Amino acid sequence: MTTDDWLADTRTSYDTVAVSYTDYVRDAIAGEPYLRAALSVFADRVRAAGGGPVADVGCGPGHVTAHLHGLGVDAFGIDLSPGMVDVARREHPGLRFEVGSMTDLHLPDASVAGLLAWWSLIHIPDEEVPTVFAHFHRVLRPGGPLHLGFHVGDISRLKTEGYGGHPMSVYVHRRQPDKVASWLRDAGFEIDAQWLCDPDAQVPQAFLFARRSS
């Protein structure tokens, strides 16, 4: 499958489920103290690095972007799905959202003070991850924090039905934190912390906190 193929499938899938997915995640952060804690740590690290604009890459309906804004972070969202961006703009009219892909991130060099990708990297094939991390490194200021959230595991699966029972065709890649950390180091990042959440769950979750080397 070519890059254009899986990107098109992912875009169409999330256009299809945009409204139902928004309902699914609407209260997700409010009900999860560890998610709130991770975002608070990230917001503190952005401020410690001097503050400035922060990119939420793969923002979906903008709920994480809005939460960061509530923490005093100058956050804006980017998502592959125009349908998701339309929903995000309706749900959070005071914030900035734009269509874009992390595989070809149209942001100027060293233009963001921080970058977050929560459960959006899970749709990127292994062979494309170095390209994505190279873009993250390019657009971050030296010393700028990077925050990732993702599913933990060693398998990839094709998701054919999504939120509200709508059809989807999108691959979900589960990865070990050490593997993701190794890719980050290769791209010029320093790792500050790894968190493992729900370690006894069928699909644990992980957070990585990194920063662009100065």
173-208 pLDDT per residue, tens: 999 999 999 999 999 999 999 999 999 999 999 999
- Residue 3's pLDDT is 66
When pLDDT is averaged across residues 110-114 and rounded to a whole number, the result is 98
What pLDDT does 66 receive?
A: 97
Type of residue at 191: I
How does the average pLDDT of the chain come out, rounded? Answer: 95
Q: Give the model's confidence band at 1: pLDDT under 50 very low, under 70 low, under 90 confident, else very high.
A: low
**What is the mean pLDDT of the segment spanning 1-21?**
88
Q: Where are the alpha helices (DSSP H) in the chain?
A: 3-25, 33-48, 63-70, 82-91, 129-139, 177-186
Whole-model pTM: value is 0.95
Looking at domain 3-212, which CATH architecture does it have? 3-Layer(aba) Sandwich (3.40)
What CA–CA distance (Å, rounded) separates 199 from 122?
A: 18
pLDDT per residue over 132-167, tens digit each?
A: 999 999 999 999 999 999 999 999 999 998 888 888
Please, what's the b/e burial string for 138-157 (b: 16 or more CB within 10 A of its CB; e: otherwise)?
Answer: bbbbeebbbbbbbbbbeeee
* Angle at alpha carbon of residue 45, lines to 41 and 48, rounded to 5°: 140
Check: CB of residue 43 under 8 Å from CB of residue 68.
yes
